[in-house]
Chains A and B, each alone.
Chain A
Amino acid sequence: MEEKKVILSAKDVEVRFRVRENYLTAIRGVSLDIYDGETFAIVGESGSGKSVFTKTFTGMIDSNGAITGGSIMFEGKDLTKLTTDKDWEGIRGAKISTIFQDPMTSLNPIRTIGSQISEVIEKHQGIPHEEAKAQAIELMEKVGIKDAANRFDEYPFQYSGGMRQRIVIAIALSCHPKILICDEPTTALDVTIQAQIIKLIKDLQKELKFTTIYITHDLGVVANVADRVGVMYAGQIIEYGTAEDVFYNPQHPYTWALLSSLPQLGVKGEDLYFITGTPPSLFNKIQGDAFAPRNPHALKIDFIKEPPMFKVSDTHYAKTWLLDPRAPKLDKPEAIQDLHGKIKRMTDKGGAFHVE
């Protein structure tokens, strides 16, 4: 990136949900700048708050939840101050669009594919029906639907999963968004189709120059798409940096654990590394480092005081006491030492993993 312009800036965002008589703090003070034109990937296991966090960008938090602190600045507006659907007009779906995981549930099964795309164009751009249809067909071609004009009047069930996801992408892009949020866009798809959809999003991004925020639990996907990566755990970003920072020089024990448990790095006949226990309940106040109870490297202080965000380099930050100058020096787990060398040896010509 030549010049870094911040397109969206979240500061100390806190989100709470009311569940029966209790409050659950799903996002516990997240600050993050997203740069214009980059691809930022948020990784974490289910319940870490990655979806909830990005839903605050489009005001789509469930009705029992609310942003209880912090600010999200986008084009001079604080998105946390917007409440009614009217406030969100012109932002949600227009400047910030989302692609969801399951293309079957995000499309209306009893309406034609074409009408679902052209409707969005008509509504947001206020242009006549015929023009919207022409634009919709153009978009369908752009996302790789062959013979788009003839398939315009077909229904979602006549499309395969991968094609449906292409349509969802077409709808999301129909208003030329500045930011595209991809919430697990390929989890419901086959590996081969997944790779194609990822490539499609990348190609479109290059052509249309939008910013992409990826939400995924798949570190392989992250390695493929991301310029920068943020790792979320228990409602906080615990480490972020460029993809190279996070994969080649991870600092937080949780990032270590996530990387080490990948089957791609497993040695046959040996146990895979795995994370014991479960994430903490967010109904309770969390003391210290949320990962400490599951962390074999936990220090005493991890149970007492929450670590601050330490700076590793200009691009790389991590929230772990291990980076405190007083902390003992620990080596990364064996499995992820020299990650690049290992994978390079694997995928080089003639290596254990054939690559065309």
Chain B
Amino acid sequence: MSNDREVILSVKHVDVSFDNGGKKRFRAVKDATFDIYRGETFALVGESGSGKTTLGRAILRINELSNGEIDFKGKRISGKISKEEDTNVIRSIQMIFQDPAASLNERATIEYCVSEGLYNFHLYKDEADRIAKVDKALEDVGLLPEHKSRYPHEFSGGQRQRVGIARAMIMEPEFIVADEPISALDVSIRAQVLNLMNKLKEEKGLTYLFIAHDLSVVRFIADRIAVIHLGRIVEIADSEELFAHPLHPYTVSLLSAVPMPDPQIEKNRKLVVYDNSKRDLSGPKPVLQEITPGHFVFANDREMAEYREKLKKMDEEKKNLTNQ
């Protein structure tokens, strides 16, 4: 990864913990550190309960941090900030939710759903301006101006998700947190929404934090991937690199669970089940460290040596394959 790229969002040693009814506080996110560059799609992958949504919400200032700091365009946006800055963050960082049926007000017209952000922040000169903005936002996501007067239930799942995207886009954000944006959609519709997200990214120079559990989707859409397990980021790499050279055993197990649409190959695949208790966890405390440029893995020195060995073996396999 070249170093001259602009860091748009920087997450530094972030902890998010929750009160656990008098017992020890529950640490949902543990010491998360990563940078997101302008214009990329950065995916955060993990199973439910891994803390991926909590971290996404922390960036949007919905969850408070108990430690660490989040910077947006070089300025701290976590903790106490001025009202003006808060408004600014809300405008520039928008969210796309998982279930478009649940995130749209079913009693409101599409026009209202999409304008809500404009109303809240008085981001329009007059009625004509507001309507022009709504029309533009709908057009951007492939809907028509006449859809304005309809209600969410009149749309299909894919169209509803487009409305969800339109209401984020109307705020003219620079950064979008997309929390499982296609998980609730039908297979045939997923592709449309993924294409749309890619198109908007190109046209508007957006940056995405794409939160997902499905690695097959992430491979297609993400430039870089961070794997999170039990609140801990265990591996970060370019998406091609992560798929070709997964190092952390949890990443390996996640990859082994991605179903491939090929009966002969799929029926012979070996499932790798990740079990923390069966791992050799001896040695000093692991930290997230860089093993090859841009590829980070959560490991201690002993594990790093093992991973280097593993990388070497993978390189040989690759040579063998290309020689064939």
Report A's interface with B, CB cutoff 8 A.
45-46, 161, 190-196, 199, 217-224, 226, 243-244, 247, 257-259, 261-266, 268, 271-275, 278, 339-340, 343-344, 346-356
CA of A290 to CA of B239 in the docked complex: distance in angstroms? 39
- Enumerate chain A residues within 8 angstroms of B21, measured Cβ to Cβ: none
A354 near B259 (CB under 8 angstroms)? no
A347 near B156 (CB under 8 angstroms)? no
CA of A127 to CA of B27 in the docked complex: distance in angstroms? 48
- Top 3 A-B residue pairs of the complex, sorted by shortest distance between their CB atoms: A220-B259, A350-B317, A350-B318
A199 and B314 in contact, given A223-B266, A274-B195, A355-B256 (Cβ under 8 angstroms)? no
B260 near A343 (CB under 8 angstroms)? yes
Which of A191, A226, A258, A347 touches B215 (beta carbons < 8 Å)? Answer: A191
Tell me if B269 counts as interface (CB < 8 A to partner A): yes
- Enumerate chain B residues within 8 angstroms of A271, measured Cβ to Cβ: 195, 198
Tell me if B71 counts as interface (CB < 8 A to partner A): no
Within 8 A of A (CB), among B298-324: 314, 316-322
Determine the residue in chain B with the shortest Cβ distance to A191: B257
CA of A348 to CA of B244 in the docked complex: distance in angstroms? 10
A261 near B258 (CB under 8 angstroms)? no
Size class of B's contact patch?
Answer: 35 or more
- Enumerate chain A residues within 8 angstroms of B156, measured Cβ to Cβ: 278
Which of B264, B270, B321 touches A349 (beta carbons < 8 Å)? Answer: B321
B266 near A220 (CB under 8 angstroms)? yes
Which of B192, B256, B262 touches A247 (beta carbons < 8 Å)? Answer: B262
A273 near B321 (CB under 8 angstroms)? no
CA of A268 to CA of B198 in the docked complex: distance in angstroms? 10
Tell me if B267 counts as interface (CB < 8 A to partner A): yes
A355 near B269 (CB under 8 angstroms)? yes
CA of A226 to CA of B246 in the docked complex: distance in angstroms? 28
- Enumerate chain B residues within 8 angstroms of A347, measured Cβ to Cβ: 260, 265, 269
CA of A259 to CA of B146 in the docked complex: distance in angstroms? 33
Which of A191, A273, A351 touches B214 (beta carbons < 8 Å)? Answer: A191
Of the listed stretches B121-129, B160-168, B182-190, chain A binds B182-190
Determine the residue in chain A with the shortest Cβ distance to B182: A263
Tell me if B108 counts as interface (CB < 8 A to partner A): no
A199 near B269 (CB under 8 angstroms)? no
- Enumerate chain A residues within 8 angstroms of B47, measured Cβ to Cβ: 190-193
B191 near A272 (CB under 8 angstroms)? yes
A343 and B261 in contact, given A192-B253, A271-B198 (Cβ under 8 angstroms)? yes
CA of A271 to CA of B213 in the docked complex: distance in angstroms? 21
Tell me if B22 counts as interface (CB < 8 A to partner A): no
* Sample (14) of A-B pairs whose CB atoms are under 8 Å apart: A192-B47, A192-B273, A195-B271, A199-B271, A258-B188, A261-B188, A263-B216, A263-B219, A268-B239, A272-B194, A274-B188, A343-B261, A347-B265, A349-B317
| Residue interface bits B23-59, CB-to-A below 8 A is 1, else 0 | 0000000000000000000000001100000000000
**Distance in Å: Cβ of A346 to nearest Cβ of chain B:** 8
CA of A356 to CA of B267 in the docked complex: distance in angstroms? 14
- Enumerate chain A residues within 8 angstroms of B257, measured Cβ to Cβ: 191-192, 194-195
B216 near A356 (CB under 8 angstroms)? no
| Residue interface bits B209-240, CB-to-A below 8 A is 1, else 0 | 00001111101110000000000000000011
Main secondary structure of the interface of B (DSSP, over half): helix
B265 near A261 (CB under 8 angstroms)? no
- Enumerate chain A residues within 8 angstroms of B260, measured Cβ to Cβ: 220, 223, 264, 343, 346-347, 353
**Distance in Å: Cβ of B281 to nearest Cβ of chain A:** 20
B192 near A274 (CB under 8 angstroms)? yes
- Enumerate chain A residues within 8 angstroms of B255, measured Cβ to Cβ: 353-355
Which of B186, B214, B269, B322 touches A45 (beta carbons < 8 Å)? Answer: B186
Which of A224, A339, A353 touches B243 (beta carbons < 8 Å)? Answer: A353
Which of A192, A226, A343 touches B262 (beta carbons < 8 Å)? Answer: A343
- Enumerate chain B residues within 8 angstroms of A356, measured Cβ to Cβ: 252, 256, 270, 272
- Enumerate chain B residues within 8 angstroms of A221, measured Cβ to Cβ: 259
Which of B244, B256, B261, B264 touches A219 (beta carbons < 8 Å)? Answer: B261
A190-B47, A266-B220, A347-B265 known; 19 other A-B pairs, CB under 8 Å? A191-B47, A191-B257, A192-B274, A194-B257, A218-B187, A224-B269, A244-B264, A257-B188, A261-B191, A262-B261, A264-B216, A274-B189, A274-B191, A343-B261, A343-B265, A344-B265, A352-B244, A355-B269, A355-B270
**Distance in Å: Cβ of B271 to nearest Cβ of chain A:** 5
A350 near B320 (CB under 8 angstroms)? yes
Determine the residue in chain A with the shortest Cβ distance to B253: A192
A223 and B262 in contact, given A191-B254, A217-B186 (Cβ under 8 angstroms)? yes
Tell me if B76 counts as interface (CB < 8 A to partner A): no
Which of A45, A217, A264, A355 touches B261 (beta carbons < 8 Å)? Answer: A264
Determine the residue in chain B with the shortest Cβ distance to A48: B186
Determine the residue in chain B with the shortest Cβ distance to A160: B49
Which of A217, A218, A261, A355 touches B259 (beta carbons < 8 Å)? Answer: A218
Tell me if B263 counts as interface (CB < 8 A to partner A): yes
**Distance in Å: Cβ of A303 to nearest Cβ of chain B:** 21
**Distance in Å: Cβ of B222 to nearest Cβ of chain A:** 9
- Enumerate chain A residues within 8 angstroms of B61, measured Cβ to Cβ: none
Interface centre among B187, B190, B255, B266 (most CB of A within 10 A): B187
- Enumerate chain B residues within 8 angstroms of A263, measured Cβ to Cβ: 190-191, 194, 216-217, 219-221
CA of A355 to CA of B157 in the docked complex: distance in angstroms? 34
A161 and B48 in contact, given A190-B213, A220-B259 (Cβ under 8 angstroms)? yes
- Enumerate chain B residues within 8 angstroms of A265, measured Cβ to Cβ: 261
Interface centre among A217, A222, A275, A354 (most CB of B within 10 A): A354
CA of A245 to CA of B165 in the docked complex: distance in angstroms? 38
Determine the residue in chain A with the shortest Cβ distance to B251: A354
CA of A193 to CA of B48 in the docked complex: distance in angstroms? 10
Tell me if B245 counts as interface (CB < 8 A to partner A): yes
**Distance in Å: Cβ of A35 to nearest Cβ of chain B:** 17
B240 near A354 (CB under 8 angstroms)? no
B243 near A45 (CB under 8 angstroms)? no
B220 near A272 (CB under 8 angstroms)? yes
